[in-house]
Amino acid sequence: MSMIRDLRAVVRPSRPATRKDNGTYDATRDPATPSAVVDCAVYRDGARVDTPGRLTPQEAMRLVRRDGGFAWIGLHEPTGAEFAALAGEFGLHPLAVEDAVTAHQRPKLERYDDTLFTVFKTIHYVEHDRLTANSQVVETGEVMCFTGRDFFITVRHGGQGSLRALRNRLQCDPELLAKGPSAVLHAIADHVVDGYIAVADAMQDDIDEVETEVFSPGRKGTPRGTDAGQIYQLKREVLEFKRAVSPLLRPMQLLSERPMRLIDPDIQKYFRDVADHLARVQEQVVGFDELLNSILQANLAQASVAQNEDMRKITSWAAIIAVPTMVCGVYGMNFQHMPELHWRYGYPVVMCVTVALCLTIHRTLKRNGWL
């Protein structure tokens, strides 16, 4: 708990906070209210409770404890000082608090007393006209969720993965939202995995394009090939995708199979569907990795074959040029007594024999596939 005490030391209550034009709180007046709050609302019986003005997290919890329901608080990249007051208010474990503030966490599910701490990695596909050795294909972010009996806190890191549209969609489904915080956790998990599916489909197109470039015929029917750097860069992006998908399999299985006090039994059935979709994406990502390995090896093999072809052509032309070089070398020796040196037809005969030998060698090499 030393971390919480240290963070609380820099937070002193002051006057009520004011709201900025962008919808977040101005923490210069009340350090206990984090400026990173994107939205804060109380839900009761599946409907958002209308309140005069914007609720602070502390006001939301007082309202929940008095009248029931649950509070959903969304934050974006809070600092340690901004998150300290919330940690104390909701009794969050310091290890989970540290993970939520520092980010760059592996997807996981952990239980601390009466709170579930879940980490999701969000994936966003970066549009590009053409894949290069420096192209960014996927962009990652993080969503961390604290699920309690009467509260749900999301901490988002990165510019992608906004949950505003998801919140609005849930508010249009009061029956589902009435299930409590576990319904929100399922909705976020489903939203993240749906994003994985969209990214996997987009990456499939990139891999198909690279595969076509590697195996499509180029000039004179030879493989055209592609830059190995492009394939390697795409493989790195697939690996980044894999780091987001694979570690999440176990948490989704636990949420769908193991009974938990904080997860409504009706909602647990929906987690099975999310786990199934996630397993399918994981199989796709593993397939991408193996396919790119094969494409990279094929590309390197094609490069070796092309080099061998070039060396065969160079060797063939060197053999052809060796004939006139030898003849010229012999007759350039300035000896007085050489065969046919003073014969009138010596020069044309030597030239004809040289050309005939060169043509014979050329024809033989071409018939054998060297030229």
Which domain CATH number covers 354? 1.20.58.340
Q: How far is CA 14 from CA 23, 32, 53, 91, 237, in A?
A: 20, 8, 19, 22, 47
For residue 303, is pLDDT > 80? no
Q: What is the DSSP string of 189-255?
A: HHHHHHHHHHHHHHHHHHHHHHHHHHHSB-GGG-B----HHHHHHHHHHHHHHHHHHGGGHHHHHHH
List the one residue out of 74, 88, 94 whose CA is nearest residue 23: 74
Position 242 in a domain:
no
User: How far apart are alpha carbons 91 and 170 in whole angstroms?
Assistant: 26
Highest mean pLDDT out of 58-62, 191-195, 258-262: 191-195
Q: Is the pTM of this model over 0.95?
A: no
- Interval 349-359: pLDDT, tens: 788 888 888 88
Position 211 in a domain:
no
pLDDT band at 230 (very low <50, low <70, confident <90, very high): confident
For residue 145, is pLDDT > 90? yes
How large is the average pLDDT for residues 211-223? 64
Please give the mean pLDDT across all residues of the chain: 81
For residue 143, is pLDDT > 90? yes
Structure confidence at residue 151 (pLDDT): 93
∠ CA(342), CA(344), CA(348), 5° rounding?
110
Number of structural domains (the chain) is: 1
Structure confidence at residue 217 (pLDDT): 65
Tell me the two tokens of residue 215: 């195996």
Position 261 in a domain:
no
Domain range holding 324?
308-367
How large is the average pLDDT for residues 349-371? 84
Which of residues 14 and 348 earns the better pLDDT score? 348
- Interval 197-216: pLDDT, tens: 999 999 998 888 888 888 77
Position 253 in a domain:
no
Position 340 in a domain:
yes
Structure confidence at residue 218 (pLDDT): 56
Position 346 in a domain:
yes
Structure confidence at residue 220 (pLDDT): 45
Structure confidence at residue 72 (pLDDT): 94
Position 324 in a domain:
yes
Position 76 in a domain:
no
How large is the average pLDDT for residues 276-304? 88
Structure confidence at residue 114 (pLDDT): 87
For residue 242, is pLDDT > 70? yes
- Interval 2-42: pLDDT, tens: 443 443 333 333 333 333 333 333 333 344 444 778 889 99
Is 157 within 8 Å of 74 (Cβ atoms)? no
Structure confidence at residue 295 (pLDDT): 87
